[in-house]
């Protein structure tokens, strides 16, 4: 299974909880979330990304399952 991470930068408040997914997200100069690697999430990164999604206080992150 492959996954793609999405971020709603308009909803992001820069709280920083998403940094548990450090290889998949960063923050820009305004403190807003930026998705790295075109949103690609590997199986090894999946747990950290799911943690980031669950801890975001404004639900600015979402994960899409892509076909094989």
Find the CATH number of the domain harbouring 23. Answer: 3.30.70.20
pTM score > 0.75 for this model? yes
Which domain, by its residues, includes 15? 2-66
C-alpha–C-alpha distance, residues 64 and 10, integer Å: 19
pLDDT digit string, tens, across residues 15-62: 999 999 989 999 999 999 999 999 999 999 999 999 999 999 999 999
C-alpha–C-alpha distance, residues 68 and 65, integer Å: 9
Q: Where are the beta strands (DSSP E) in 1-51?
A: 2-7, 25-27, 33-35, 40-41
pLDDT of residue 18: 95
**Per the structure block, which two tokens stand in for 62?**
């979402």
Number of domains in the chain: 1
pLDDT digit string, tens, across residues 5-26: 999 999 999 999 999 998 999 9
């Amino acid at each position: 299974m492959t996954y793609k991470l999405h971020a709603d930068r308009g909803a992001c408040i820069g709280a920083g909880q998403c940094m548990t997914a450090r290889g998949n997200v960063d923050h820009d100069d305004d403190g807003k979330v930026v998705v790295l690697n075109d949103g690609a999430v590997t199986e090894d990164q999946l747990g950290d990304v799911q943690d980031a999604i669950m801890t975001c206080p404004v639900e600015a992150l979402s994960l899409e399952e892509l076909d094989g």
